[in-house]
Amino acid sequence: MPQYFGKLPTTGASWSTIGAVQGIQRHQQGVDFDCGGSHLAISILAANLIRVRLAPKGEFMPRRSWAVTPDDAEWSVVPFEVKETDAAVEILTEQLRVRVQRNECRVECFDKAGQAIAHDTGMGMAWRTGAIATWKRIEADEHFYGFGERTRLLDKLSEVKTNWTLDALDYDSLTDEMYTCIPFFIALRPNVNYGIFFNTTFWSQFDIGAEEPGVLRMETRGDELDYYIVYGSEPAQILRTYTHLTGRMPLPPKWAIGYHQCRWSYESEDVVRELAAEFRKRRIPCDVIHLDIDYMNGYRVFTWSPKRFSEPAKLVSELAQDGFKTVTIIDPGVKYEPEGDYHVFDAGVAKNYFVRKTDGELFHGYVWPDKAVFPDFLRPEVREWWGDLHRSLTEAGVAGIWNDMNEPAIADRPFGDPGEKIWFPADAPQGSEAERTTHAETHNLYGQSMAQAAYEGMKKLRSNQRSFILTRSGFAGVQRYSSVWMGDNQSLWEYLENSLPMLCNMGLSGVAFVGCDVGGFAGNATAELFARWMQVGMLYPLMRGHSAMTTAQHEPWVFGDRTENICREYINLRYQLLPYFYTLFWEAATTGAPILRPLLYHFPNDTHTYKLYDQVLLGSSLMAAPVYRPGVEYRAVYLPEGTWYDWWTGERYEGSTHILAHAPLEKMPLYVRAGAIIPMQPVMQYVDEHPLEELTLCIFPGNGEFTLYEDDGHTFEYQNGAWATTTYRVSSEGLETIVDIEARQGQWTPSRQTIVQVVGVGEQRFVDDGTSRQLRF
Ligand code: MIG
């Protein structure tokens, strides 16, 4: 039983419901409602963004900057109208109508067509000691997505989703709390899409019609109710607005989009060297090697094992010469070592940077270094100190940081003893002076603030070089600092299957740069599972192979030639698609769009897509229908409206239908939309193996448009204008296919040939000088 539950009284007491509206006050950004002591505030932040807050005692909490970055005052004022009737107060924006019923006070929204959005129901809004909640009506045919990191399939209707980060070791389909939590969802029914961001960092929960069909409950163990209704005519608009609130990902270095190899652990310099050599010898592309906890000296963070990694700078630079980047793991637990001459412990204690209990004693728990203490990353000075500590790694040439165990995962006894999972006492003080609070309010932010420290530290230390950050735990907004992987999955078919909806829901929660351990972390894959996983892994925004201690090796070549060839083929395809991938990352960085998308993202009015969890879109053009079951050689594929081409054979299909795809082990069914323009490059063994000399635009006849993004791939110069975008358009005129190329934008100059290939028709090539041109086929 989590310690937290014993600390804050909640259940049992009966709910006090909000009373009738007794007075209203209109102001520049919305309307305030006096409900007899309690206070309801409706703010209009944009025509499609409404913030609803309820303070039972009338006083709102101070502003919190952790998840939502812009303050309300930073939104430019938008026009709205207020209409009062006896029954209600209505607020009208260009896109929405918010109706607040006076007696009893209830909040309801409508779109322009008068369709209901997030209507209060039942108790409406209510509170009791330590908890506050709202009840919303679930409309007929409404389905629910997002909710951060979640197991099971795509649609979360009839489930309960709790937001409390924890080490979800051995998670399965029935697991509720996960490593990362994001209290945001998207609700969908034909022609109505909206999202709700439940702005609370306290323990919170969504009951999506589980207890009572047709009723959604949102509850927090915080002191006020605070949520945003994000309306959009399609999911892309909802994500654009949601990521305006919680931020977007910085553009990662291009190498981070290549293949990553990891294991717990490649335990010595020699093992790592052999691993790297093997990739190059076998011509399997790879950009990144991760070092797990055994590179450290006795699990002391920011140290190197003098025995096994005695010359880290030499190793890392040799790897770099061979085109590999090195990423090291960092855990939050700092070895408790008062007499140990361990500078991280000593400095942290001297500066008072570790979390303490209310009585002033240092909090400690047990993790890999045994007895350990934990920095309070919510404090900016602690983050800065921690960030600077990464120097011991960047000095050796490390280019990326992997944050693990940051939920935080802590045991009450030394590892190996049968112990309980614990965390800081709920009343432990945490946070900066301005936002000083307790662990109860900030638990869910621990991992995210650690990743923030890593991100900011690496940015400072690696001058003008983008770094790669990976975290296991995060909260709403984690995308501002880090990519996220889905923790300890298992080498079982079920986990391969679950990885697609899991990553799609992360993408719908604003976190585009995500991945699952390819091949499965715990347990041993079979050759067949591994081959299928590499095919699917090729689609993950983060493609990293990883496996646990004591499992069999899981490198691409250990399962024999046939599997190795499949791995090579799909990793090669990933590298050929890098220009496409990189553009998708840019899109995510600028609009918040996911990279890996469920079909409902582009076909939100097609109810066939609402539960379709085993087909995915990579960007808007490529659709994969992977095989994720043993012994399966055929599978049903749903082709939505439009014309589709088989990626491998070029065969053409009219959509709105199901087909049966033949998928022997070597093949992952892959389709592409008519009018798609997919930029491709030759296979490279790592992203910067040589400058791009030839870019091939694979064009599939139809009508379509694609904007390609390019820059140097690894510095921040793109922020000074050193980027290039080129917009390509395809259309047809009679029997002719016409390709229009707009003049290049931006100040970065790629020097390369462009090959325009209209699939099944013909090919033209030219030296791309950035001017506009038209090609006819
Ligand atoms: O207690 O660092 O999820 O990826 O290899 C296990 C060792 C700690 C858990 C991570 C996993 C990593 C492992 N870690």
- Rounded alpha-carbon distances, angstroms, from residue 434 to 350, 378, 379, 439: 22, 11, 10, 15
Q: Are 373 and 363 in contact (CB under 8 A)?
A: yes
Q: How far is the CA of 529 from the centre of ligand 1 (A)?
A: 22
Question: Do the beta carbons of residue 232 and residue 194 sit within 8 Å?
Answer: yes
Element (H, E) at 34: strand 30-35
Q: Which helix (H) or strand (E) holds 393?
A: helix 391-394
Q: What phi and psi values does residue 215 have, to the nearest 5 degrees?
A: -125, 130
DSSP H stretches of helix in 419-492: 439-442, 446-461
Ligand 1 pocket, mutate which of 292, 542, 551 (most atoms under 8 A from CB) = 292
Average pLDDT over residues 675-688: 98
**Torsion sign, CA atoms 655, 656, 660, 661:** positive
- Write down the pLDDT at residue 5: 44
Specify whether 768 is catalytic. no
Nearest to 714 by CA among 311, 280, 257: 257
Q: Which of 196, 391, 369 is nearest to 206 (CA)?
A: 196
Which H helix or E strand runs over 336?
A: none
Cα 498 to its chain centre, rounded Å, is: 16
Ligand 1 centroid to Cα of residue 233, in Å, is 41
| 488 catalytic residue (yes or no) | yes
Confidence band for 4, pLDDT divided at 50, 70 and 90: very low
296 alpha carbon to ligand 1 midpoint, in Å?
Answer: 14
Tokens of residue 289, six digits:
């090697």
Atom of ligand 1 nearest to the CA of 329: 2
Mean pLDDT of the chain: 96
Give strand ranges (E) for 574-702. 596-598, 616-618, 622-624, 634-639, 643-646, 652-654, 657-662, 670-673, 677-680, 694-699
207 a catalytic residue: no
Q: Are the CB atoms for 180 and 474 separated by under 8 Å?
A: yes
CA of residue 549 to ligand 1 center, whole Å: 9
262 CA: nearest ligand 1 atom: 5
Of 375 and 415, the structure prediction assigns the larger pLDDT to 375
- The per-residue DSSP string of 160-226 comes to EEEE-----TT--TT--S-SS---EEEEEETTEEEEEEE---SSEEEEESSSSTTEEEEEESSSSEE
Ligand 1: which of 472, 488, 518 to mutate, judged by most atoms within 8 Å of the beta carbon?
488
- Cβ(300)–Cβ(330) below 8 Å: no
Q: Is the dihedral of CA 601, 605, 606, 612 positive or negative?
A: positive
Structure tokens at 163: 């937001």
- pLDDT at position 8: 52
Q: Whose CA is nearest to atom 5 of ligand 1?
A: 264
Pairing of strands 753-758, 694-699: parallel
Is residue 180 pLDDT above 80, yes or no?
yes
Give whole-number Cα distances, 689 to 258, 275, 322, in Å.
12, 18, 9
Give burial (CB, 10 Å; 0-12/13-18/19+) of 743: exposed
Query: For the chain, what is the radius of gyration of the CA atoms?
Result: 26
Q: Give residue 712's identity as a one-letter amino acid code.
A: D
| pLDDT tens track for 471-508 | 999 999 999 999 999 999 999 999 999 999 999 999 99
The CA 168 to ligand 1 mean position distance, Å, reads: 11
* Atom in ligand 1 nearest the alpha carbon of residue 169: 3
Give residues (CB < 6 A) around ligand 1. 264, 292-293, 329, 404-405, 472, 487-488, 521, 546
Range 240-275 burial, b when 16+ CB lie within 10 A, else e: bbbbbbbbbbbbbbbbbbbbbbbbbbbbbbeebeeb
Overall average pLDDT of the 696-700 stretch: 97
Q: Which of 405, 484, 518, 547 to mutate to test the pocket of ligand 1 (most atoms within 8 A of CB)?
A: 405
| The pair of three-digit structure tokens given for residue 326, joined into one six-digit string | 């090195």
Q: Write out the two tokens for 423.
A: 């965390």
**Residue type at 162?**
T
Dmax (CA) of the chain:
82
List pLDDT tens digits, range 721-765: 999 999 999 999 988 999 999 999 999 999 899 999 999 899 999
Residue 480, φ and ψ in degrees, nearest 5: -65, -25
Q: Which atom of ligand 1 is nearest to the CA of 472?
A: 3
pLDDT at 10: 60
What is the spatial distance between Cα 672 and Cα 171, in angstroms, rounded to a whole number? 34
Torsion of Cα atoms, 213 then 219 then 224 then 228, to 10°: -60
Nearest to 94 by CA among 224, 233, 205: 233
- Residue 62 scores a pLDDT above 70: yes
Contact 531, 567 (CB under 8 A): yes
C-alpha 466 to ligand 1 mean position (Å) = 25
pLDDT digits (tens, 9 = 90+) for 538-555: 999 999 999 999 999 999
Mutate which of 264, 291, 329, 484 for ligand 1 pocket (most atoms within 8 A of beta carbon): 264
The residue from 167, 292, 488, 711 that is catalytic is 488
Mean pLDDT of 574-589: 98
pLDDT score of 3 more than 90: no
Residue nearest to atom 6 of ligand 1 (CA): 405
Looking at residues 35-53, what average pLDDT do you find? Answer: 97
| Active-site position among 111, 149, 159, 407 | 407
Contacts of 339 (CB under 8 A, 6+ apart): none
- HEC string of 215-247 equals EEEEEECCCCEEEEEEEECCHHHHHHHHHHHHC
pLDDT of residue 103: 95
Nearest CA to ligand 1 atom 12: 264
What is the mean predicted confidence (pLDDT) over 589-601? 98
pLDDT higher than 70, residue 6: no
Q: Any bridge partners for residue 89, and if so which?
A: 84, 100
Nearest ligand 1 atom to the CA of 367 is 1
Check residue 418 and give its pLDDT. 85
Task: Let me know: does 580 contact 619? Beta carbons within 8 Å.
Answer: yes
Residue 643: predicted pLDDT: 97
Nearest atom, ligand 1, residue 265 CA = 5
CA 172–ligand 1 middle distance (angstroms)? 17
Q: Among 90, 120, 267, 404, which one carries the catalytic annotation? A: 404
**Is 562 within 8 Å of 528 (Cβ atoms)?**
no
> CB of 414 within 8 A of CB of 367?
no
Closest ligand 1 atom number to CA of residue 487: 3
Mean pLDDT value across residues 318-347:
98
- The H or E element containing residue 743 is none
Return d(Cα 63, Cα 707) in angstroms, integer: 39
> How many angstroms is it from 404 CA to the middle of ligand 1?
7
Cα(364) to centroid(ligand 1), Å: 20
Q: Which two tokens stand for residue 176?
A: 């509720």
Of 540, 484, 544, 541, nearest in space to 520 by CA: 544
How far is the C-alpha of 620 from the C-alpha of 596, rounded, in Å? 9
The tokens of 382 are what? 């602690």
Q: What is the pLDDT of residue 12?
A: 72
Within 13 Å and on the Cβ side, how many CA atoms surround 537? 30
Nearest CA to ligand 1 atom 13: 264
> What pLDDT, on the 0 to 100 scale, is given for residue 7?
43
Q: How far is the CA of 291 from the centre of ligand 1 (A)?
A: 11
Q: Tell me how far the alpha carbon of residue 392 lies from the centroid of ligand 1, in angstroms.
A: 21
For 277-295, the pLDDT digits (tens) are 999 999 999 999 999 999 9
Q: Are strands 517-518 and 543-545 parallel, antiparallel or unpaired?
A: parallel
> How far, in Å, CA of 379 to CA of 388, rounded?
14
% residues pLDDT > 70 (the chain): 99
Cβ partners under 8 Å of residue 468, min gap 6: 252, 253, 255, 256, 288, 325, 327, 399, 400, 401, 483
d(CA 98, ligand 1 centre) in Å: 47
235-246 vs 578-591: helix crossing angle, rounded to 10 = 70
Shortest-distance atom of ligand 1 to CA 264 = 5
Quote the pLDDT of residue 9. 52
Cα separation, 19 vs 34, whole angstroms: 9
Mutate-to-test residue for ligand 1 from 265, 266, 267, 404, highest number of ligand atoms within 8 A of CB: 404
Please choose, from the candidates 239, 24, 12, the residue with its C-alpha nearest in 3D space to the C-alpha of residue 128: 12
Q: Are 33 and 41 in contact (CB under 8 A)?
A: yes
The ligand 1 atom at the shortest distance from the C-alpha of residue 549 is 5
